Amino acid sequence: MRRIVLALGICSAAFGADFAKDVQPVLMKRCVMCHGAAQQLAGVRFDNGPDALKGGYSGPVIVAGKAEASKLIERVTSTKNGFRMPPMGASLSDAEVESLKSWISEGAVWPAGLTIGKATTRKSNHWAFQPLWKGELPAVKQADWVRNPIDRFVLSKLEKEGIAPSPEASRTVLLRRVTLDLTGLPPTADAMRKFLADTRPDAYERAVDELLSSRQYGERWARQWLDLARYADSDGYEKDLIRPYAWRWRNYVIESFNADKPFDQFTVEQLAGDLLPNATLEQKVATGFHRNTLINREAGVPRAEDRFETLVNRVNTTSTTWLGLTMGCSQCHDHKYDPISQREYYSAMAVFSNSRDTEIDAPLSGELGPWLASRTTYLKKRGEILKSAPVQQWFEKWQEKMRSAVQKPGTDIEWDFSVTSFRVMFDHADETLLMPEEQRSERDQWRLMLYFLSNSRLTLRDDKEGEKKLKEIRDQIAKLEEETPKLTQASVVIPDPKAPAQRMAVRGDWKTPGIEVQPAALAVLPEFKPAGEPERLAYARWLVSDANDLTPRVIVNRYWQEFFGRGIVKTSEDFGTQGDKPSHPELLDHLAREFRANGWSVKKLHRTIVTSATYRQASKARADIAERDPDNAWLSRQSRLRLSAESIRDVALATSGLLSMQVGGPSVRPPQPKGVAELVYGNSGKWVESTGADKYRRGLYIVFQRTAPYPMLTNFDAPDMTVACSRRRSSDTPLQALNLLNDPVFYEAAQALAYRVATEAPAETGAKIDYAVQLALGRKASATELTRLKKYVDEQPKETAWVGLARVLMNLDEFIVRE
């Protein structure tokens, strides 16, 4: 890809006559350097004089006063394909080459203040990079339809197209719709009765407020955020080891949504909570957002490579989540379509590269007391176990051998292999091993001891009795750990003053480092000013600053998408030039501006959306506009949406009465088909089925093993959690029908629904059927449905009739769809 951008529209009067007349046109029009053609010239840019004179990744390409010694002249005069510059098109003319030679021979003076091509502040006419619209609300003819400002924008568009909005949905549909949208669960029978009996004019608004205050609200919206954060309970890649405390960060997300934490604060805490003054425990836990990256623990993978891939994932995730841009396209070269250079990509990486991953104690309420009370006894027993054999002596011998292998590799191949395995399985391995014991933290010292206890083969290979004794010690330690109260842990990010300088990667290859770069944001966006703060904290604040209008646009669009099935910008992951244009640009900007003005309150935004007349419309398809607006972008009706994978399971459990309403806590393992867990490498994905109430927790809490995810979630289009997912796509497959019919979870839910009908409904068959329909679909059965279902029940064996009826209802399209 091109490393020199053709500069257009630069006034030559700003430069010296000879430079402007002879040299500038050559550099602007002909001298196109390719960053992939040769590492020798990679990184050279002639749109900035000092950078060009400084040189590429392997030294200067211009030697002032010595034209023939300059790599630039060597390249532009070459006839060798792949070596000659420019790499495409005609070669430079003799006159152009002589102009360059003369300029270099005369000292290669670059006019002061000159920047050719990309300036330090780049501009773009693309709509997403413009300031928010601040006009007046549009006038409409049918003003009595309008309930809040959203409706003015939508109705104005419809009236211009000569289309009337759809009528309001029925009250039963409205309550089921808004309950599913705000909590991910269906309304209870009592909630529906209460709502239908409420004749006050603001009955709907009251129901909305009740839903917004529900603890299930946080669970619903945490699920959407987890998609963006690529949350999983395992590392991914080959070994895909379980992360036993990944859920601690998920707790933070749930509670943040329930507390309506301002989104700007929510952002800063997750990207840089550890850098805030007097950071609280929860603010430190919040940085777990970027601990959701995959970790490659395959022995042959260098730690430098895994670190690079981790940073790539963090840059791309941050870009997708907050900016709605495809920055990942600039890892290897300048973005082909958007104003994002490769250098800017690595400048963004530099924001995150001065940090390191670690684990901290993050106790939940009630954990600290028992842990402290048991600590003295625990340490005493642990010491006694370790002293029952010369463990310390063996441990020191192991450390000595490992240090030697680290510092003098190639001496002993077996110990070299041990070091390789140690580095991938033990975070910050070399640093911890080489550090004097007295300088290690208590956590790291015990972490190292535990690693030795499980990897002592080489140390004791000639001591069979020692091996036997050490196995007994391992078992005793494991039993002691299991019996002793524990503190919940959290995976977090902290500053790393020893982090290496961030460099560009030639062609995106971590093995080929290029020029050093400093933390910076995209030049096309408002200026990024660290102002004395740590760069990561300053960057987080910049993302949600008043100057940056892109972030609120992206966020409100993504929330709109959840309520209407598509965003105002359909490509919610791409606000760049290749993404879709907004269907209602002024509405998008109005919502973004109000979102920020209302203190970044997500609940206020959601309330505004769901109380609008636009949201309340019926979802019935309209033949009159099917061809003109097949995607319902104009919003002349509501959209009929298939529930998310997790909600489908949740609705089945809630309808049957099985659902556990516990909020937060560790992930669970409900029943799943045999053979799935066995797909995980080394049988490390053991699926010990949860019991009791844990078996019936919401889909949000199901263990997500990246290499063998819960099949039901996959069948219903849950993302793979390797990269940020901005919007889920819905598919229709036979597996989905089979899942609903035969999965043990859904069959058990059908049995429980049958039990509810048998014990809660009146004895008469018709009344039982009507009650079952109300529980499953939130409405009364029609006369036709009653007749057909009664006939079905009469034809079934008595002992299974109601289970069969429950399975019929729970397999209806209406059951897994919100109208």
- Tens of pLDDT, residues 743-779: 999 999 999 999 999 999 999 999 999 999 999 999 9
Asked if residue 663 is part of any domain, the answer here is yes
Indicate whether 602 and 633 sit together in one domain.
yes
Residue-level pLDDT at 5: 30
> Based on the structure, what is the number of domains in the chain?
6
Same domain for 402 and 502: no
Claim to verify: residue 752 and residue 677 sit in the same structural domain: no
Asked if the structure places residue 432 within a domain, the reply is yes
Structural domain boundaries enclosing 268: 262-362+493-543
Tell me the C-alpha distance between 750 and 419, whole Å.
Answer: 54
What are the residue ranges in the chain where pLDDT is below 50? 1-17, 29-40, 116-121
User: Quick one: 621 and 680 in the same domain?
Assistant: no
In a domain, 611, yes or no: yes
pLDDT computed for residue 802 by the predictor = 97
The confidence score (pLDDT) of residue 714 equals 96
| Whether residue 626 sits in one domain with residue 523 | no
Is residue 252 in a domain? no
Please indicate, yes or no, whether residues 558 and 536 belong to a single structural domain of this protein.
no
The CA-atom distances, in angstroms, between 99 and each of 21, 61, 102, 108, 764 are 10, 16, 5, 11, 99
Do 101 and 174 lie in one domain? The reply is no
Q: What is the pLDDT at residue 9? A: 25
Q: How many residues does the chain have?
A: 819
Examine the domain organization and report whether 89 and 50 are in the same domain.
yes
Q: What pLDDT shows up at residue 34? A: 38
Look at residues 436, 463, 485 and tell me which one is the last residue of a structural domain.
Answer: 485
Q: Give the model's pLDDT for residue 2.
A: 31
Residues 382 and 481 occupy one common structural domain: yes
Burial 202-234 (b: 16+ CB within 10 A, else e): ebbeebbeebbebebbbbbbbbbbbbbbbbbbb
The answer on 373 and 473 residing in a single domain is: yes
- On whether both 378 and 470 belong to a single domain, the answer is yes
Boundary residue ending a domain (583, 610, 638):
638
Residues whose CB is less than 8 angstroms from the CB of residue 573 and which lie 6 or more positions away in sequence, other chains included: 320, 324, 326, 579, 724, 726, 727
Residue finishing a domain among 465, 485, 505: 485
The answer to whether residue 286 is domain-embedded is yes
Say whether 657 sits in a helix, a strand or coil: coil
Q: How confident is the model at residue 11, as a pLDDT?
A: 27
Contact 233, 704 (CB under 8 A): yes
Identify the pLDDT of residue 331. Answer: 96
Q: Which among 506, 522, 230, 153 is positioned nearest to 347, based on CA atoms?
A: 522
373 with 479, same domain: the answer is yes
Confidence (pLDDT) at 3: 31
Question: Encoding tokens for residue 276?
Answer: 């805030």
Q: Using CA atoms, how far apart are residues 790 and 792, in angstroms rounded to an integer? A: 5
Q: Distance between CA atoms of 541 and 536, rounded to whole angstroms?
A: 9
Do the domain assignments include residue 449?
yes
Q: Does residue 234 belong to any structural domain of this protein? A: no
